[in-house]
Amino acid sequence: MRESSNPIVSVPAVGAQDMLTSILRDGAQRLLTQAVEAEVAEWIETHRHSRDEQGHRQVVRNGYLPERTLVTGVGPVEVKQPRVLDRRSAGEAEPFSSKILPPYLRKTKSIEELIPWLYLKGISTGDFSEALAALVGPAAQGLSASTITRLKEVWQAEFQDWSQRSLKGKEYVYVWADGVHFNIRLEEDRQCILVLLGATADGRKELIAIADGYRESEQSWKALLLDVKARGLVIDPKLATGDGALGFWKAIGQVFPTTREQRCWVHKTANVLDKLPKRLQPEAKQKLHQIWMAQTRAEADKACDLFLATYQAKYPKATECLAKDRSVLLTFYDFPAEHWIHLRTTNPIESTFATVRLRHRRTKGNGSRTACLTMVFKLLQSASKKWRLLNGSQLLPDVIAGVQFINGLKPQTAAA
């Protein structure tokens, strides 16, 4: 029998894990001490020519600064930093400041980032002590829940700066719009957050704007669109995708009049099925799927006609819901087929907000509208790091140039 070449990895016991952590911490302490010692030695060496009249060096070591504890990913590490004495005159003396160990550093960057990550992923402030003790050890200092209060203030300031940033020179070929509702613990009304996402000329998805709107009204959307235009976004997007119930469509027609409409098929499907008996919904959903997954507009029209003929007699509200937006549900056929997967739905927003909704369920919502808006901003910022380029990004210059694709193909390709 052949022996397996895969190594067998066993999980160390708790005592072994504690010993390993201790070894890692001791190693980190030695490496950090050596690095700081070398940094101080180099600083002193660069000033070796600074001497007094007796030939004595002016920049020398002078013992150690008081020991301090640095919280790291392997637990607390005690550090002693050499003190540097500069005996030159006040105008010539340079205070030494370690780049490795800044004067007020108490936590490594990984730990600083751990706190907002835990909060954004659903750990409530009341559970912070337990969560942090499990991650970095009970001896960790400076990681209390009160840190979140200070972070919220920083995040709010970041959101304000981001909301006022210049958009001059920006061009978004496609935009997606949606209104997302959240419960606010300290208020009776649900909060509606308006989100505008865009695709740049090189195919990157970017968050354009977030605003606290009054439901999904035309006035709220118009205020958001006028704001981004005033900040420099003056080029009309080629296509916008959104839910048919949005006041967004009236607003964008006034602010970016040349932008074409594409209604979201996910929203439309849900709205149509809601007007049919549950026993018919699986079959009807399949028929709707055949419309927007058709390879050509002619095939989509044929499938749409079939749906209308099948349900119109008994369920006119369902067929009317589909028929009234028929043309704007099929706009995507005039754009590259590679882009259809991105254009037919508001999924770029919906999928991102799954994380936001999850956090709200865990923490039972935010306490204020401002806190909710800031939370959405930070979560979307985090999610944006994983956004991928649009399929067929190389075709975006053709879209910008005004080429109208036929069933997803460029005119010469379609003719061939």
d(CA 289, CA 278) in angstroms, rounded, equals 17
Of residues 121 and 297, the one with the higher pLDDT is: 297
pLDDT of amino acid 14: 46
d(CA 72, CA 75) in angstroms, rounded, equals 5
Beta bridge partners of 200: 172
**Which of 24-33, 57-66, 316-325 bottoms out in mean pLDDT, i.e. has the lowest?**
24-33
Q: Identify residue 311 by its one-letter amino acid code.
A: Y
Calculate mean pLDDT across residues 325-338: 97
In percent, how much of the chain has pLDDT > 70? 69
Flag whether pLDDT at 10 surpasses 50: no
Flag whether pLDDT at 322 surpasses 60: yes
> Which pTM does this prediction carry?
0.68
Calculate mean pLDDT across residues 139-157: 64
CA distances from 271 to 102, 237, 276 (A): 58, 27, 9
Helix (H, G, I), strand (E, B) or coil at 11: coil
In the block, residue with structure tokens 């340079």 = 94
Residue 82 has phi, psi (to 5 degrees) of -60, 145
Q: What is the pLDDT of residues 369-384, one digit of tens each?
A: 777 788 778 778 877 8
Flag whether pLDDT at 83 surpasses 50: yes
Q: What is the pLDDT of residues 244-278, one digit of tens each?
A: 767 899 999 999 999 999 999 999 999 999 999 99
Calculate mean pLDDT across residues 306-319: 96
In percent, how much of the chain has pLDDT > 90? 42
Distance of CA 222 to the CA centre of its chain: 24
Calculate mean pLDDT across residues 14-25: 54
pLDDT of amino acid 238: 97
Residue 342 CB coordination number (10 Å): 21
Calculate mean pLDDT across residues 174-181: 88
**Which of 99-113, 339-353, 375-389 bottoms out in mean pLDDT, i.e. has the lowest?**
99-113
d(CA 96, CA 240) in angstroms, rounded, equals 56
* Summary mean pLDDT of the chain: 80
Flag whether pLDDT at 4 surpasses 80: no
Residue 61 has phi, psi (to 5 degrees) of -80, 150
Flag whether pLDDT at 342 surpasses 90: yes
pLDDT of amino acid 5: 44
Of 349, 350, 332, 301, which is closest to residue 407 (Cα–Cα)? Answer: 332
pLDDT of amino acid 147: 58
Residue 298 CB coordination number (10 Å): 11
Using pLDDT thresholds of 50, 70 and 90, give the confidence band for residue 132. Answer: low
Transcribe 284-304 into DSSP letters: HHHHHHHHHT-SSHHHHHHHH
pLDDT of amino acid 71: 61
Of residues 49 and 283, the one with the higher pLDDT is: 283
Q: What is the CA radius of gyration of the chain?
A: 30
d(CA 37, CA 35) in angstroms, rounded, equals 5
Q: What is the pLDDT of residues 206-232, one digit of tens each?
A: 999 998 876 778 899 999 999 999 999
Of 205, 152, 139, 185, which is closest to residue 387 (Cα–Cα)? Answer: 205
CA distances from 66 to 8, 69, 81, 85, 103 (A): 46, 10, 8, 15, 11
pLDDT of amino acid 189: 60
Residue 344 has phi, psi (to 5 degrees) of -75, -20
pLDDT of amino acid 395: 96
